[in-house]
Chain A
Amino acid sequence: TQLLEQSPQFLSIQEGENLTVYCNSSSVFSSLQWYRQEPGEGPVLLVTVVTGGEVKKLKRLTFQFGDARKDSSLHITAAQPGDTGLYLCAGPLYNTDKLIFGTGTRLQVFP
């Protein structure tokens, strides 16, 4: 059983389109993180959201933490080929000292 489910699993879009990736759980997290991973490389942290309902913007990327702190979304505006990669949500599982990762969303942006 995956504690952090992401959807969609794959996304293939044209440059300039908008997209949203979802990260859902039945568990409450004290914080959630979003990472981006390129092939053969380690994941790179994009953002941390801590407060329920929090919205953070990073250029064309908008991250939201659900009010109940069980879910998060990543919205990309006007996607570019450089956004191509594997997007992973993650979070410290409450009271376990485990940092777990979501199932991942593989994004491909075509020029």
Chain B
Amino acid sequence: DSGVTQTPKHLITATGQRVTLRCSPRSGDLSVYWYQQSLDQGLQFLIHYYNGEERAKGNILERFSAQQFPDLHSELNLSSLELGDSALYFCASSTHRDSGTAFFGQGTRLTVV
């Protein structure tokens, strides 16, 4: 158990809909990273928050947004969903802002039908 909790574990929704994925980082970790992993693909960096502040953006679509709340949990919002958005979405947390040592949640498997 990494200490990072993601909910829900599975999500099936229709095209055009909006969903929210939730991540609770390890206790004491200030950094939260979000990644997208499509079938048999690597991890694509989406966005990084540190202590409530957005620190870096990757190839994140404009339809996607995220935030980190004062209690340090984070949410990833995906809207106007398309079939191609079907993927595993992972969050990871880290103690520091610029460390590569991160702990991953179990992921949310999103299926858009």
Q: Does any Cβ of B come within 8 Å of A33's Cβ? A: yes
Find the B residue at minimum CB distance from A101.
B43
Main secondary structure of the interface of A (DSSP, over half): strand
Q: In the bound complex, how far is the Cα of B1 from the Cα of A44, in angstroms?
A: 10
CB distance from A102 to the nearest CB of B (A): 7
Q: Interface residue count for A (Cβ, 8 Å)? A: 25
B102 touches A97 (CB 8 A): no
Among the listed A33, A42, A88, which residue makes an inter-chain contact with B106, where contact means beta carbons less than 8 Å apart?
Answer: A42
Known A31-B100, A41-B107, A92-B99; contact A99-B33, beta-carbon cutoff 8 A: yes
Known A42-B90, A96-B56; contact A101-B107, beta-carbon cutoff 8 A: no
Among the listed A33, A42, A96, which residue makes an inter-chain contact with B100, where contact means beta carbons less than 8 Å apart?
Answer: A33
Q: Does any Cβ of A come within 8 Å of B26's Cβ? A: no
CB distance from B33 to the nearest CB of A (A): 6
Known A44-B2, A97-B48, A99-B33; contact A92-B42, beta-carbon cutoff 8 A: no
Q: In the bound complex, how far is the Cα of B90 from the Cα of A33, in angstroms?
A: 17
Assign chain B's interface to a size class: 20 to 34
B: residues with CB less than 8 A from A are 2, 4, 33, 35, 42-43, 45, 48, 50, 55-56, 58, 88, 90, 92, 94, 97-107, 109
- 20 more contacts with CB within 8 A, not counting A31-B99, A42-B104, A90-B43, are A32-B100, A33-B101, A42-B92, A43-B43, A43-B90, A43-B92, A45-B102, A48-B100, A48-B101, A88-B42, A88-B43, A91-B100, A97-B50, A97-B97, A98-B45, A98-B48, A99-B45, A99-B102, A101-B35, A101-B45
